[in-house]
């Protein structure tokens, strides 16, 4: 898949809330933060709007704002303010032809998973599972490792290895080597997409999974549905990221990763855990749609950059 154009100093960043809204006071803080990074901004008018209490406007409003940001020739990149709930409501309103014709940087995670999947599969270009403005940049959360990983991913010219934050290393659950397009995101969102037109296609791909605030029995349920729908049978490999505040109240030692390892035990693919990306800090940016290779002997995850 194509990499979008790099982000340069002085470029215009489109700010979106394509899922849940931010608070009015944080809206202005988000705008100021991005300006202070050295960029111009164009902001959607629904950043702090509320529909139903948890949606930044109707699905149609949010879908149209995504379309508008991709269609706007002055917008060089799009960064989501936050995730939340209800991105699924916006999917039917996406103009996939407009998005495909205007590839550009798109950054977000969590409920933004739905948009990554559809842009990668129907738009044909790389998007970035990376930090969002309100969730990860304000309140002194934009640590150097998170910041460096984001801008490296957006502007890489050549192949590079996934960064490992200080005092961390990836763990091997199932050994092996694999190569394929990187896809995935929030486990619960991927599960919810099964049976819809926006269902993730895992065939031959490296699948990344993470989640937040879920009991382990729910992680079990989500992953079992992906397994039973063939998503692990057809993939090339699996990366397990951060499972922030995902706990097992009945048996704490049976963690989300141990649960997933058990569900994946019959998958004939390499599986790596402790990838530092997701709802935790620091957060490493992942280029969804990029060619990715994993090697459990060297404990490396490598991204192959194609800007041709």
Looking at residue 257, what is its pLDDT?
98
**If 0-12 CB within 10 Å is exposed, 13-18 middle and 19+ buried, where does residue 143 land?**
middle
Residue 143 near residue 285, CB atoms below 8 Å:
no
Strand, coil or helix: 226: helix
Catalytic residue (one of 110, 135, 188, 277)? 110
Name 211's Cβ contacts closer than 8 Å, sequence gap at least 6.
186, 187, 188, 219, 222, 243, 244, 246, 256, 278, 279
How many CB atoms lie under 10 A from the CB of residue 30?
24
CA atoms within 13 A on the CB side of 291: 9
Catalytic residue (one of 134, 193, 277, 279)? 279
Catalytic residue (one of 210, 214, 277, 291)? 210
Residue 243 near residue 257, CB atoms below 8 Å:
yes
C-alpha to C-alpha distance for 59 and 55, rounded to whole angstroms:
8
CA separation, residue 64 to residues 44, 46, 138, 233, 257 (Å): 10, 11, 26, 36, 38
Residue 279: active-site member? yes
| Pair of tokens at residue 294 | 């994993």
C-alpha to C-alpha distance for 220 and 12, rounded to whole angstroms:
42
**What per-residue string of b and e applies to 267-287 under the rule 16 or more CB within 10 Å gives b?**
bebbbbbbbbbbbebbbbbbb
C-alpha to C-alpha distance for 178 and 296, rounded to whole angstroms:
9
Residue pointed to by tokens 């899922």? 19
Each residue's pLDDT, cut to its tens digit, for the chain (308 residues) gives 999 999 999 999 999 999 999 999 999 999 999 999 999 999 999 999 999 999 999 999 999 999 999 999 999 999 999 999 999 999 999 999 999 999 999 999 999 999 999 999 999 999 999 999 999 999 999 999 999 999 999 999 999 999 999 999 999 999 999 999 999 999 999 999 999 999 999 999 999 999 999 999 999 999 999 999 999 999 999 999 999 999 999 999 999 999 999 999 999 999 999 999 999 999 999 999 999 999 999 999 999 999 88
Angle between helices 216-228 and 256-263 (to 10 degrees): 20
Name 45's Cβ contacts closer than 8 Å, sequence gap at least 6.
none
Alpha helices by DSSP H, the chain: 24-36, 59-71, 96-101, 113-118, 144-155, 187-193, 216-228, 256-263
C-alpha to C-alpha distance for 129 and 288, rounded to whole angstroms:
7
Residue 110: active-site member? yes
Chain centre to alpha carbon of residue 167: 23
Looking at residue 9, what is its pLDDT?
97
Residue 152: active-site member? no
- The full set of domains in the chain, from first to last, is 12-142 (3.40.50.10740), 160-304 (3.50.30.60)
C-alpha to C-alpha distance for 131 and 26, rounded to whole angstroms:
16
Looking at residue 32, what is its pLDDT?
98
Looking at residue 308, what is its pLDDT?
84
DSSP letter at 90 equals G
| Pair of tokens at residue 82 | 């936050």
């Amino acid at each position: 898949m194509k990499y979008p154009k790099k982000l340069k100093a002085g470029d215009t960043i489109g700010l979106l809330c394509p899922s849940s809204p931010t608070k009015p006071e944080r809206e202005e803080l988000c705008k100021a933060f991005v300006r202070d990074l050295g960029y111009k901004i164009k902001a959607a008018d629904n950043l702090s709007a509320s529909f139903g209490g948890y949606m930044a406007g109707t699905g149609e409003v949010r879908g149209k704002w995504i379309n508008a940001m991709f269609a706007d020739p002055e917008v060089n990149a799009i960064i989501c303010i936050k995730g939340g709930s209800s991105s699924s409501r916006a999917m039917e309103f996406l103009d996939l032809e407009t998005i495909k014709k205007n590839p550009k940087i798109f950054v977000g995670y969590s409920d933004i998973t739905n948009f990554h999947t559809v842009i990668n599969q129907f738009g044909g270009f790389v998007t970035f599972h990376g930090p969002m403005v309100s969730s990860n940049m304000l309140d002194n959360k934009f640590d150097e490792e998170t910041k460096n990983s984001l801008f490296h991913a957006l502007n890489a010219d050549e192949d590079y290895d996934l960064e490992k934050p200080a005092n961390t290393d990836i763990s091997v659950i199932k050994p092996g080597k694999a190569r394929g397009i990187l896809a995935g995101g929030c486990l619960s969102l991927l599960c919810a997409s099964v049976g819809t037109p926006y269902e993730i296609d895992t065939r031959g791909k490296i699948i990344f999974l993470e989640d937040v605030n879920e009991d382990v029995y729910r992680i079990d349920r989500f992953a079992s549905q992906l397994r039973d729908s063939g998503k692990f049978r057809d993939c090339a490999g699996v990366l397990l990221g951060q499972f922030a505040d995902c706990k097992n109240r009945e048996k704490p030692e049976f963690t989300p990763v141990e649960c997933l390892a058990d569900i994946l035990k019959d998958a004939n693919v390499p599986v790596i855990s402790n990838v530092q990306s997701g709802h935790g800090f620091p957060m490493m940016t992942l280029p969804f749609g990029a060619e990715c290779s994993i090697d459990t002997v060297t404990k490396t995850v490598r991204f192959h950059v194609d800007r041709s």
